[in-house]
């Protein structure tokens, strides 16, 4: 790809000719506010918060969709640009509940951050406001479209990242709203509850149900880990408060998933605190499972294995391992089967 030479805020840059102005600015560490744009999604220029001045252009242009060209001169933070962004925010907040005191997203909300940066406490436009009912008749996602700014990131995440297209814009004009076909519930739609729409939503419109009320962004810290559920090895960020997991969020650097998760990785963390989890081995005695030490349990298993192998031959035994285990653990299981017991009855299953 050939390069072009452009100037942004006085900085001379050489960037690939297929870059947008936003990509060029970001490559030089120049921050331009965005709401609808995200590096994982195709740009659509929906929100207009990223307007910039470009020489020889009659009006301000959204830099997330505007392509660079040779000799281009861009200014990202002039009074005219800031005034236009204030106007966009004013319009967005004219139909927004300003509920930051109790909103789960406060502290992690791009709209809130921009209102703070541009000093907008409330909208100057009086008029109709929506009063959409909360939609949460499913186990995982709470949808509050009163906080939706129609950036369509969720729609694009569903289609472009998860490949499902369970949601899209409904209605027209002021009554435009994101929803499933015929505005039904998510669980009656093709939704797979991957949660990518939550991960991409820049406001509090989409929230993970189980995390609401469990802590704000500034009270948690992220611990990067590998999903325990299957062999894909997706990278996840555990959001931890007081040593307890309160949410799982996307880690965009994950080499095998690039931020995507399935329903288990995103929402299946409640087992960590489940009181029914086994914490000690159990041995059946007189028909009852009773707690035992690891030495007792392992001795019993070794005796039974040896006894069955001797009585019925090694092929009476088989070893099932799991994609949830590490490579080293799987190696040791097959070594136990082949090397110690003497059978090739070895298999594995991702669901074990």
Least distance to ligand SF4 from the beta carbon of 217, Å?
A: 10
In contact, 25 and 68? CB cutoff 8 Å: no
Least distance to ligand FES from the beta carbon of 22, Å?
A: 7
Q: Which does 34 bind (CB under 5 to 8 A by kind): ligand FES, ligand SF4, none?
A: ligand FES
Q: Fill in the per-residue mask, 5 to 44: x = in contact with ligand FES (CB under 6 A), - = not in contact.
A: -----------------------------xxxx-------
Quote the CA–CA distance of 257 and 239 in Å, as a whole number: 18
| DSSP three-state, residue 114 | helix
Residue of 45, 107, 168, 268 that binds ligand FES (CB under 6 A) = 45
* Residue closer to ligand SF4, measured from CB, 61 or 123: 123
Residue of 54, 147, 215, 236 that binds ligand SF4 (CB under 6 A) = 147
Cα Rg for the chain, rounded, in angstroms?
27
Quote the CA–CA distance of 34 and 45 in Å, as a whole number: 10
Token pair of 277 as six digits? 């989890």
Contact call for residue 54 and ligand FES (CB under 6 A): no
Quote the CA–CA distance of 146 and 94 in Å, as a whole number: 11
Residue span binding ligand SF4 (CB under 6 A) among the ranges 107-115, 118-126, 271-279, 311-319: 107-115
Residue span binding ligand SF4 (CB under 6 A) among the ranges 16-24, 185-193, 317-325, 338-346: 185-193
* Residue closer to ligand SF4, measured from CB, 9 or 160: 160
According to DSSP, residue 305 is labeled H
| DSSP three-state, residue 277 | coil
* Residue closer to ligand FES, measured from CB, 21 or 191: 21
Contact call for residue 202 and ligand FES (CB under 6 A): no
Token pair of 270 as six digits? 């409640």
Residue of 138, 192, 216, 258 that binds ligand SF4 (CB under 6 A) = 192
- Give CA angle at 265 (263, 268), nearest 5°: 75
Long-range contacts of the stretch 247-255 (C-beta < 8 A, 24+): 247/208, 247/210, 247/211, 247/214, 247/220, 248/208, 249/199, 249/222, 250/196, 250/199, 251/224, 252/39, 252/40
Contact call for residue 166 and ligand FES (CB under 6 A): no
Contact call for residue 206 and ligand SF4 (CB under 6 A): yes
Residue of 51, 54, 60, 148 that binds ligand SF4 (CB under 6 A) = 148
Give the residue carrying structure tokens 């949601």: 167
Q: Which does 192 bind (CB under 5 to 8 A by kind): ligand SF4, ligand FES, none?
A: ligand SF4
Q: Which does 109 bind (CB under 5 to 8 A by kind): ligand FES, ligand SF4, none?
A: ligand SF4
In contact, 81 and 51? CB cutoff 8 Å: yes
Q: Helices in the chain by DSSP H: which ranges?
A: 21-27, 79-93, 110-117, 153-156, 196-200, 263-267, 294-312, 327-335
Provide the binding-site residues for ligand FES, judged by CB under 6 A. Answer: 34-37, 45-50, 62, 64
Q: Which positions touch ligand SF4 (CB under 6 A)?
A: 96-97, 99-100, 103, 105-106, 109, 111-112, 147-154, 157-158, 162, 164, 166-167, 178, 186, 191-197, 200-201, 203-206
């Amino acid at each position: 790809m050939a390069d072009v030479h452009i100037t942004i805020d006085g900085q001379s840059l050489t960037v690939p000719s297929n870059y947008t102005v936003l990509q060029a600015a970001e490559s030089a560490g120049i921050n331009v506010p965005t709401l609808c744009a995200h590096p994982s999604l195709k740009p659509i220029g929906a929100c207009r918060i990223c307007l910039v001045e470009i020489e020889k252009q009659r009006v301000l242009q959204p830099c997330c969709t505007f392509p660079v060209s040779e000799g281009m001169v861009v200014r990202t933070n002039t009074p005219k640009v800031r005034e236009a962004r204030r106007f966009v925010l004013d319009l967005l907040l004219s139909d927004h509940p300003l509920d930051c005191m109790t909103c789960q997203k406060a502290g992690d909300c791009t709209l809130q951050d921009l209102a703070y940066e541009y000093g907008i406490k409330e909208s100057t436009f009086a008029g109709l406001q929506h009063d959409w009912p909360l939609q949460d008749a499913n186990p995982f996602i709470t949808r509050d479209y009163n906080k939706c700014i129609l950036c369509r990131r969720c729609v694009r995440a569903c289609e472009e990242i998860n490949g499902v297209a369970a949601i899209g814009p409904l209605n027209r004009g002021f009554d435009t709203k994101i929803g499933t076909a015929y505005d039904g519930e998510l669980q009656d739609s093709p939704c797979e509850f991957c949660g990518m729409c939550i991960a991409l939503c820049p406001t509090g419109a989409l929230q993970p149900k189980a995390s609401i009320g469990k802590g704000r962004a500034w009270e948690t810290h992220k611990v990067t880990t590998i999903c325990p559920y299957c062999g894909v090895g997706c990278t996840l960020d555990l959001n931890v408060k007081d040593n307890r997991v309160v949410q799982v969020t996307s880690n965009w650097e994950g080499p095998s998933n690039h931020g995507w998760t399935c329903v288990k990785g995103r929402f299946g963390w409640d087992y960590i605190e489940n009181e029914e989890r086994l914490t000690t081995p159990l041995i059946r005695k007189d028909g009852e499972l009773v707690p035992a030490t690891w030495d007792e349990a392992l001795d019993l298993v070794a005796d039974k294995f040896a006894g069955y192998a001797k009585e019925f031959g090694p092929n009476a035994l088989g070893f099932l391992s799991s994609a949830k285990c590490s490579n080293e653990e799987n190696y040791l299981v097959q070594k136990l089967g082949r090397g110690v017991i003497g059978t090739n009855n070895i298999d594995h299953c991702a669901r074990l």
